[in-house]
Amino acid sequence: MRRVWSSTETLAALLLLLPLLAVPWAFKPYAANVLAVYMIYGILALSLTLIWGYAGIMSFGQTAFFGIGAYAYGAIGLNWINRTQQTHAALVGGLVAAALLAAVVGYFMFYGRISDVYASIITLALTLVLFAFAVSTGGDEWVIGVARFGGFNGMFGQGESSQNIANFQIPPVTVWLPGMAEPFQFKINRESAAGYFLVLGASVLVYVVVRWLLRVRLGRVAIGIRENEARVASLGYDTRFYKFALFTIAGAIAGLAGILFAAWGRFVNPDRFGLGFASSTVVYVLLGGRTSLLGGFVGAAIIGYLTSYLAEIVPFATIPGDATPWMRFLMEAGRRIVREAPLLVQGAVLVGIVLALEDGVTPPLSRLLTRYRRWAWWVLLPVVVLYFAHRVACLQADWCLF
């Protein structure tokens, strides 16, 4: 526990960060865009790792805080962007909204001393009820200022005058600090990778903060609670408070992920509260490794890549007209199997990892890295650096070796 920053960790940080920093120049903007969303989901997963992996509180509802953060950012951002040209208030508002919801729910759960299993169920119910809520806000009356909730279609802004209704999207993160000539927008497109770096920066920041939290008293007590709550209480710690505090912090982190998501896609819809997203989050953590702070990011990237890969496969694209009904049924089923594959994979991962009592992929990876530290420093790292340097040179200056 007390182990301070080790050389393996420096190595892992370099292996991850150097390529990530080079991505906007090494690949097309699409790559940065996709990686940004993996990192956003990674931050969400990290919030779950924090309370589940470390404090032992399983929350199925981190998506509730994610969604609230996204919707709050959207609502405030839509209303203020045209007046103030920045989204400072929206950023703060999104964080506060998520933390507040987590605090209220956490207060009732932990100070009410309901059992851990009940707490998990409450979090699940929370996100599902919010889903039902968000879905039913399709009507014209569901507005906050110019922001329309939009039900299934998601949140958008609606112009002021009723003769000439113009729709507009949630703004990207926009800052306009004193001393700046004009507002700066964090976008991800052909011209700019600022939005990507914002997400990357946020990921690193959250990682560092969580790592620090786990080293101070809050984190140590949290781990103690996971091990044996009654024991920790008998040492003089108000375990309710620690759980409450940690849950609130995790809620705020999930909210931050939600904010980044809404700003990244300039869009948020009820699916962010849905069962599918809630289970994805758990799968990210489980697959990546719930005892590793990087696990969530790794899990999100694996599942995300797999999903987008599967989305491109369409088997039996054309079914011949003379196929027998049975053949037709089987072919359609085959198509559906591929279409539902992400879901099936997630379900299989959950069941499989739980049954096999496995630790996810990150802990074994980091063990390998520790074991072959030397090789990694002198071979793997240079290879990675050279590869990315070559990609950048090739894409930016056409200096391609192959």
Partner 1 sequence: MPERILEVASLTKHFGGLRAVHLDLTVDAGELRCLIGPNGAGKSTFFRMLSGAMRPGSGTVRFRGRDITGWDAFRVARLGMSIKFQVASVLEELSVRDNLHLAAEFRFGNRAGQRRAAAMLEVIGLTERADHPATWLSHGEKQWLEIGMASVGEPALILLDEPTAGMTAEEMKKTVRLLKRLNEAATVIVVEHDMNFIRMIAGRVTVMHQGEVFAEGSMEEIERNDGVRDIYLGKGSHYVVRR
Partner 2 sequence: MSVDTAAIVVLEIVNSITILVLLALGLALIFGMMRIVNLAQGEFFTAGAFTVLSAVRFGHLPLWAGMLLAPVVVAGIGIVIERLIIRRLYGRPLDVMLATWGVSILLIGLITVIFGAVTQGIPFALGNFQVGRYSYPEYRIVMTTVAAGLMLGVSLLFRYTAFGRRARATIANPEMASAAGINTPRMFMLTFGLGAGLAGAAGAIMAPIVGVVPTMGALYIARAFITVVVGGPVVLVGTLSSASALGFIEALISRFSLFQIETAGHCAPPPCAINIGGSAFFGQIALLIFAILLLRLLPQGISGFWRQRR
Please report, as ranges, the residues that interact with partner 1 according to CB under 8 A: 1-2, 216-217, 220-221, 223-224, 227-228, 230-239
- In the block, residue with structure tokens 């912090």: 249
Work out what residue 224 binds among partner 1, partner 2, none; the CB cut-off runs from 5 to 8 Å by kind: partner 1
d(CA 130, CA 126): 6
Q: Which does 177 bind (CB under 5 to 8 A by kind): partner 2, partner 1, none?
A: none
Write the burial class of residue 127 (CB in 10 Å: 0-12 exposed, 13-18 middle, 19+ buried): buried
Q: Any idea what DSSP says for residue 235?
A: T
Tell me how far, at minimum, the Cβ of 200 lies from partner 2, in Å.
30
CB of 110 to partner 1, least distance (A): 13
- CB distance 253 to 267 below 8 Å: no
The rounded distance, in Å, linking the Cα atoms of 71 and 90 is 10
Judged by beta carbon distances under 5 to 8 A according to partner kind, the member of partner 2, partner 1, none in contact with residue 348 is: partner 2
Closer of 125 and 400 to partner 2 (Cβ): 125
**Interatomic CA distance for residues 345 and 335, integer angstroms:** 15
Contact 251, 102 (CB under 8 A): yes
206, 256 in Cβ contact below 8 A?
yes
Q: How far is the CB of 2 from partner 1 (least distance, A)?
A: 7
**Of 19 and 138, which has the nearer Cβ to partner 2?**
138
Instruction: Name 185's bridge partners.
Output: 174
- Is there a contact between 44 and 66 (Cβ–Cβ < 8 Å)? yes
Closest CB to partner 2 among residues 31, 114? 114
Which residue, 174 or 281, has its beta carbon nearer to partner 2?
281
**β-pairing, 174-175 with 184-185?**
antiparallel
- In angstroms, what is the minimal distance from the CB of 218 to partner 1? 11
172, 195 contact by CB (below 8 A): yes
208 interacts with, out of partner 2, partner 1, none, CB within 5 to 8 A per kind: none
For partner 1, the closer of residues 223 and 392 by Cβ is 223
Q: Strands 147-148 and 174-175: what pairing?
A: unpaired
Contacted entry of partner 2, partner 1, none for residue 232, CB cut-off 5 to 8 Å set by kind: partner 1
Residue 227 or 340: which CB sits closer to partner 1?
Answer: 227
Of 136 and 396, the one with the shorter C-beta distance to partner 2 is 136
Residue 314: contacted member of partner 1, partner 2, none (CB under 5 to 8 Å, by partner type): none
For residue 313, the SS3 value is coil
Cβ 270 vs Cβ 227: under 8 Å: no
The span from the CA of 72 to the CA of 86, in Å, is: 15
Q: How far is the CB of 244 from partner 1 (least distance, A)?
A: 13
Q: Which CB, 34 or 122, lies closer to partner 2?
A: 122
Binding site for partner 2 (CB under 8 A): 58, 60, 105, 108-109, 111-118, 120-122, 124-126, 128-129, 131-133, 135-136, 139-146, 148, 158, 162, 165, 274-275, 279, 282, 286, 332-333, 336-337, 340, 343-344, 346-352, 354-355
Going by C-alpha positions, the residue among 47, 362, 30 that lies closest to residue 203 is 47
DSSP H helix total and E strand total for the chain = 15, 6
Binding-site partner at residue 231 among partner 2, partner 1, none, CB < 5 to 8 Å by type: partner 1
Backbone φ, ψ for residue 76 (5° rounding):
-70, -40
364 binds, among partner 1, partner 2, none (CB under 5 to 8 A by kind): none
Closer to partner 2 by Cβ: residue 101 or 199:
101
- 330 contact, one of partner 2, partner 1, none, CB 5-8 Å limit per kind: none
